[in-house]
Structure 1
């Protein structure tokens, strides 16, 4: 049965519940279960084709429960995933990343009003304001950070957006202060990405980026294959270290991608690792 028809059969009873005003905690549980199923899926095309229908369902849930931070966080993360990993058109990625960030901001404002619209602050006031965050607000702050990073990726040619990079770094640094192991150390992963985007001549810091990637690998016990791919792509290539580059990518390809919560990400990482390794001869020409 085509995916579009499958998702239609899933959504019809849910939409009927909306029309009858029967939104309940059970639908939120359904949302949580579907989110987990997406992250545990190892067929990228199923997710690429099926996720838009689920995003529409999430929009409907949020419309019915606009102050439900759990739904806002779930929607923000999935819109960010779709924008950064599954959409090829730049304009669509921008629009989707805008929505992801908007949902995350709404969740942050509801959970911690003192942090609402914190991105509007000048940088010298931004980092001190982050001290208002505590472990209880960690999930919404982290979600806001990852959606902001996704937004930056989608707006990478906009210099006004690029100017936000130091703020995003400060946000993830605060997350490390609160709990560096949160989400298996992914704050280190994002800091590694941010600090390896630019060459040293333009303000990048590849050695610090490497340290963040290595710590993320430790905290995930090597299960988060996307980190090794990023270390190969963003650090080993920049430093022209083919031995490290090829070793990391082979480790990724030899690993079992099926890890709870990481199967989709790991499958994408293996796909990219295969492509990068195939390009190794041409990239590292003697």
Structure 2
């Protein structure tokens, strides 16, 4: 389970932040566009810590500002996601003392970032709307009731909480208390789809595709639902979001040992000639991942 969750946070890396309000909104929107249209994940990863510290300073000045809190949460979650891509590269290389040390260091940094990101997203949601308070700690039955009365305009806050929560769960996947929150995260993403299935370029469908394809049906997984989720993401983004195809190959096709589907999806990704600006970072990460999947396909199948 832990190994199969590693790509969950990579979705987050390229989703990044969306707008809030006033000056924070302008800053977030401009930074969001610049990052999403960048084809160099390493440069983005090196630049993000400065912006994280900037938002820390804004929050220090006004700890109750929900816009700064949610922008900070999104930024830290995105950075943690990029660290996840670095971890995947390191784990695929031949292990040595330095490599293991660096992996552990990045993992600890990820854990700190996602913990803080989830705390800030939860606090921002609570400041925004009383009904959104304590969603990460209440019982499942109460969680269901709360989601039923969430309004359409709450989608931005709710989705930000969901992505931060998913990132936190992934970095704590060895903790069964963290994994016990999986049903809540899935239900939250289903609510996002009910409100607006196109939100964040069908991001909720990609999360559900991964979460439903973690285990075979004999062990409680729902891979056929995962297949539907991935295909919905591909349909909505008109095939432009290559990460949806890569995750479809990694999670569904490999789980079902469907080599033909796996190779077709990977081939589609690697044959893409022009990358739309809106998906540049996401697709750059997807192509990197597709190459790794292609290299390991012969051994896997």
**Partner in structure 1 of residue 71 of structure 2:** 74
Structure 1 residues 122, 211: CA separation in 2 closer, same or farther (over 3 Å shift)?
same
Residues 1:152 and 1:40: Cα distance change in structure 2 (over 3 Å)? same
- For 2:231, the equivalent position in structure 1 comes to 214
In 1, the alpha carbon distance for the partners of 2:39 and 2:116 equals 25
Q: Give 1:31 shift.
A: 4.1
Residue 84 of structure 1 and its aligned partner are, at CA, apart by: 2.5
Taking structure 1 as the reference length, the TM-score comes to 0.85
Partners in 2 of 1:211 and 1:91 — Cα distance?
34
Matching residue of 1:183:
200
Please say if residues 115 and 132 of structure 1, whose CA atoms lie closer than 8 Å, have aligned partners that are also in contact.
no
User: Structure 1 residues 159, 69: CA separation in 2 closer, same or farther (over 3 Å shift)?
Assistant: same
1:40 and 1:64, CA in 2 relative to 1: closer, same or farther beyond 3 A? farther
For structure 1, list consecutive stretches of 5 or more residues without a partner in the other structure: 1-23
Q: Which residue of 1 aligns with 2:218?
A: 201
Question: Contact between 1:185 and 1:220, CA under 8 Å: does it hold in 2?
Answer: yes
Answer whether contact 1:188 1:212 (CA < 8 A) is retained. Answer: yes
- The alpha-carbon distance between structure 1 residues 99 and 275, as it changes in their structure 2 partners (threshold 3 A), is same
Provide closer, same or farther for how the CA distance between residues 272 and 257 of structure 1 changes in structure 2, counting only shifts above 3 A. farther
| Alignment partners' CA distance in 2, 1:262 and 1:106 | 30
CA distance in 2, matches of 1:65, 1:262: 34
Counterpart contact for 2:122–2:135, Cα < 8 Å: no
Residue 118 of structure 1 and its aligned partner are, at CA, apart by 1.6
- Contact 2:240–2:276 under 8 Å retained in 1: yes
Counterpart of 1:16 in structure 2 is none
Is 1:100 aligned to residue 117 of structure 2? yes
Residue matched to 2:35: 38
* Contact persistence 1:58–1:75 (CA under 8 A): yes
Deviations 1:230-264 (A, max 9, x none): 10000101111111101101111222563344221
Unaligned runs of 5+ in 2: 1-20, 88-105
Aligned 8 A contact 2:24 2:67 in 1: no
Structure 1 position 116 matched with structure 2 position 133? yes
Flag the structure with larger Rg. 1
Once residues 278 and 66 of structure 1 are traced to their aligned partners in structure 2, the CA distance between those partners, rounded to angstroms, is 47
Taking the aligned partners of 1:113 and 1:196, their CA distance within structure 2 comes to: 33
- Structure with the bigger RCO (C-alpha within 8 Å, sep 6+) is 2
Q: Tell me whether 93-102 or 25-34 shows the greater mean CA deviation.
A: 25-34
1:62-90 alpha-carbon deviations (Å, 9 max, x no partner)? 33343333332222222112113325322
Residue 58 (str. 1) matches residue 49 (str. 2): no
Q: TM-score, normalised by structure 2?
A: 0.81
Against the structure 1 CA distance between its residues 145 and 257, is the aligned structure 2 distance closer, same or farther, given a 3 Å change threshold? farther
